[in-house]
Amino acid sequence: MHSPHRRFSRRLSFDPPPTRLAAAVAGRAARGEETLDLTETNPTRVGLPYPEAELGEILARGAAAPYRPDPRGLLSARQALAAALSRPGDAVSPDDLLLTASTSEAYGFLFKLLLDPGEEVLAPIPSYPLLDELAALEGVRLGHFPLEPGRRFALDAGALERAAGPATRALVVVHPNNPTGGYLTPSEQDAAAAVCAARGLALVSDEVFGDYPLSDAPRAGPAAARGDVLAFSLGGLSKSAGLPSWKLGWMRVGGPPELRRRTLDALEHVADSYLSVATPVQRALPGVLALLPRLQAMIRDRLLGNLRTLREALSRVENAELLLPQGGWSAVLRVSHTLPDEDLALRLLEREGVLAHPGYFFDFASEDFLVLSLLPEPGRFGEGVRRLAGLLQAFTVLPL
């Protein structure tokens, strides 16, 4: 007799063992021990002063709307979004936009559209590991091209060329990168587009952190503003407005006009199978977009303040280098020590009660990186980085 147990698909490991760091965090929580979490990236959990009453009123006004779904997103929402995204010399058309429930869903739609099962999409490393799971869930392969650590993780066209193979159908770039915080320069974006044009690849540009520059470094514009290659710019309220619970993202489609039209028609067909974006949120979008200057200023002030605190705390630590981010919500530290990054993160957690990401979580090529979020509440962040600096300084005079 066959076992009644039904196996799951092989797309993912649905019961992975916990990492040593995750097990240590869970153990501290079970014992009631406090952890200063320097990995927190949920903006709604770090004490930011959201205009909750205004947001509630905006959402309430859209709640009683009749349901008239549009696979691309309500025209009124796309018109407001197009106006918010437009810049001098780059007028965005609402006809080039498609709303999704999240950036993750946008990736899923694009992988469905651009790749057959078993084909490959290229993405940078180091980068956020979510793409691995999204690709696996769509039955496609995720290949990687390395960013150059010697040039602050810049994009290298030669690495792209070497990584692209006969099964490659799309290239993902992250602008600015998560977690290294580097924006693509105009020349780097041109190089990526040239590889895509030569090989017939689509260019997918994840620009969710694009509204948070932390320096005056030169940066490329939206990939979808290009007309020479099929390109997609991804964004969403989760980062642009610090509202992950509102579940609204978008993609902008760019490229040669006829190819762009056919692509949008095909994406509409995909989106019509899900109709996942809630109508009240779409109707509320113009009101949320009107609040963007305040919301983004609130978050940017937090990021810049914590970045100053981090620079000051590490200024006297000889064995740690802060790789200053150009944008985004994270900071990367390169640490000279004899411990692998996971062991160092465990030591930091066990001795100081401070949680930081080891670099391997983001596929750094060497084991001497730690990654911190710049979002935590300033008092807790300051105490956490003070303890981190103290531990690293102790490593210079004490045996490990």
DSSP secondary structure letters along 298-336? HHHHHHHHHHHHHHHHHTT-TTEEEE--SBSSEEEEEE-
Which CATH code is given to the segment(s) 61-290? Answer: 3.40.640.10
The pLDDT value given to residue 151:
86
Which of residues 120 and 152 earns the better pLDDT score? 120
The pLDDT value given to residue 92:
98
Residue 225 CB-half CA count within 13 A: 16
344-391 pLDDT, tens digit each: 999 999 999 999 999 999 999 999 999 999 999 999 999 999 999 999
- Quick one: three-class SS letters along 83-143? HHHCECCECCCHHHEEEECCHHHHHHHHHHHHCCCCCEEEEEECCCCHHHHHHHHCCCEEE
Q: How far is CA 100 from CA 142, 164, 375, in A?
A: 22, 28, 25
Residue with tokens 């793409």: 131
Domain limits, the chain: 20-49+294-397, 61-290
The yes-or-no verdict on residue 11 having pLDDT over 90 is no
The secondary structure of residue 153, as a DSSP letter, is S
Q: What token pair was written down for 9?
A: 């698909």
The predicted model scores a pTM of: 0.95
The yes-or-no verdict on residue 31 having pLDDT over 80 is yes
Element (H, E) at 254: strand 249-254
Cα(177)–Cα(69) distance, rounded to whole angstroms? 34
Superfamily of domain 20-49+294-397: Aspartate Aminotransferase, domain 1 (3.90.1150.10)
The pLDDT value given to residue 112:
98
Which pLDDT band, with edges at 50, 70 and 90, does 5 fall under?
low
83-98 pLDDT, tens digit each: 999 999 999 999 999 9
Report residue 65 CA to chain centroid gap: 32
Q: By three-state DSSP, how is residue 236 classified?
A: strand
